[in-house]
């Protein structure tokens, strides 16, 4: 796991901004030893932060892929409609020719 997430978790503990439920769980899993519980909290919180990051990245990539697919669909729709231009020109030419006769 990236040490960055451990640093973030440790900074949360140092600043007192902790997830109280996770801290209680960590101390409980450490048989009530608050020092060991704090160390376990940092590990568990770092795991949570890494998972949150992975979820956000997956969502960002998914959104980018959807955006690309939307652009491709739009380009296809535009290509599908291009036949209208030569048809419109032909109709105009025929109308002009008919009105001049």
Q: Is the pTM of this model over 0.75?
A: no
Number of domains in the chain: 1
Q: Find the domain containing 84 and state its range.
A: 3-100
> 40 and 30 in contact (C-beta within 8 Å)?
yes
What's the pLDDT tens digit per position in 36-81? 999 999 999 999 999 999 999 988 888 777 777 777 777 777 777 7
């Amino acid at each position: 796991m990236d040490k960055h997430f451990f640093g973030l978790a440790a900074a949360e503990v140092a600043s007192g901004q902790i997830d109280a439920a996770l801290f209680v769980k960590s101390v409980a899993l450490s048989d009530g030893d608050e020092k060991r519980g704090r160390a376990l909290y940092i590990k568990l919180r770092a795991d949570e932060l890494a998972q949150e990051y992975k979820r956000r990245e997956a969502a960002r990539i998914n959104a980018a892929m959807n955006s690309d697919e939307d652009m491709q669909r739009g380009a296809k729709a535009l290509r599908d409609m291009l036949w209208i231009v030569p048809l419109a020109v032909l109709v105009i030419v025929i109308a002009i020719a008919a009105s001049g006769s």
